[in-house]
Structure 1
Amino acid sequence: MLVDISHERQQQLLRQRNLFAMTSAGLGIALIIATSLAVTREREIVLLPTIPRQLTVSSAGVEADYLELVTRDAALVLLNRSPEGLDYWMAEILKLADPASYGRLKADLVAIVDEQRGSDVTQAFVIRSMTVDPKALTSDVTGTLKTFVGAQVIASDERRFRFRWTYRGLRLALAGFSQLPTQDSSKEAR
Structure 2
Amino acid sequence: MKSEFAYEEAQRHLKQRNRFAALAGMLGLTTILAVGTAATSDEAIVLVPITSERVELSSGGIEATYLELVSRDTALMLLNRAPESLDYWMESILKLADPAARGSLKAELIKIVDEQRGSDISQAFVIAQIHVDPDTLTSTVSGTLKTFVGAQVIASQTRSFEFIWQRRGLSLGLTGFRQLPAQEEESQ
2:153 maps to 153
- Residue deviations 1:138-186 (CA, integer Å, cap 9, x gap): 0001100000001111000000100000001001000000010235876
Deviation digits for residues 105-161 of structure 1 (CA, Å, limit 9, x no counterpart): 000000000100010001000000110000000000110000000111100000010
8 Å CA contact retained: 2:47, 2:55: no
**Structure 1 contact 61–167 (Cα < 8 Å) conserved:** no
Measure, in 2, the Cα distance between the counterparts of 1:102 and 1:179.
Answer: 19
Deviations 1:63-113 (A, max 9, x none): 111000000000000000000110110000000001111000000000000
Distance (whole Å) between structure 2 residues aligned to residue 118 and residue 173 of structure 1? 30
C-alpha separation between the residues in 2 aligned to 1:102 and 1:95? 9
Alignment root-mean-square deviation, CA: 2.9
Aligned counterparts of 2:177 and 2:134: Cα–Cα separation in 1: 16
Equivalences, count: 158
The TM-score normalised by the length of structure 2 is: 0.74
Partner of 1:62: 62
List alignment gaps of at least 5 residues for structure 2.
1-14, 31-44
Structure 1 unmatched runs, 5+: 1-14, 31-43
Task: Give the secondary structure class of the aligned counterpart of 1:139.
Answer: strand
Q: Which residue of 2 aligns with 1:34?
A: none
Q: Is residue 166–residue 173 contact of structure 2 (8 Å, CA) maintained in 1?
A: yes
Amino acid across the alignment from 2:82: S
The answer for the alignment partner of 1:93 in structure 2 is: 93
Task: Please state how far the C-alpha of 1:61 moved relative to its aligned partner.
Answer: 1.5
Describe the shift of the 1:167–1:184 C-alpha distance in structure 2 as closer, same or farther (beyond 3 A): closer
* 1:110 is aligned to 2:76: no
Residue 11 (structure 1) aligns with: none
1:29-56 deviation per Cα after TM superposition (whole angstroms, max 9, x unaligned): x9xxxxxxxxxxxxx95534x3222211
User: Aligned equivalents of 2:100 and 2:184: distance in 1?
Assistant: 34
Q: CA deviation at 1:57?
A: 1.2
What residue in structure 2 maps to residue 165 of structure 1?
A: 165
Measured in 2, the distance between the counterparts of 1:116 and 1:145 equals 16
Percent identity, aligned pairs only, is 60
Structure 1: distance between partners of 2:80 and 2:47: 27
Q: Is the 8 A contact 1:164 1:176 kept in 2?
A: yes
| Structure 1 equivalent of residue 52 of structure 2 | 52
- Normalised to the residue count of structure 1, the TM-score between the two structures is 0.73
Residue in 2 that maps onto 1:174: 174
Separation in 2, partners of 1:117, 1:136: 35
User: Relative to 1, partners in 2 of residues 1:97 and 1:184: Cα closer, same or farther, differing over 3 Å?
Assistant: closer
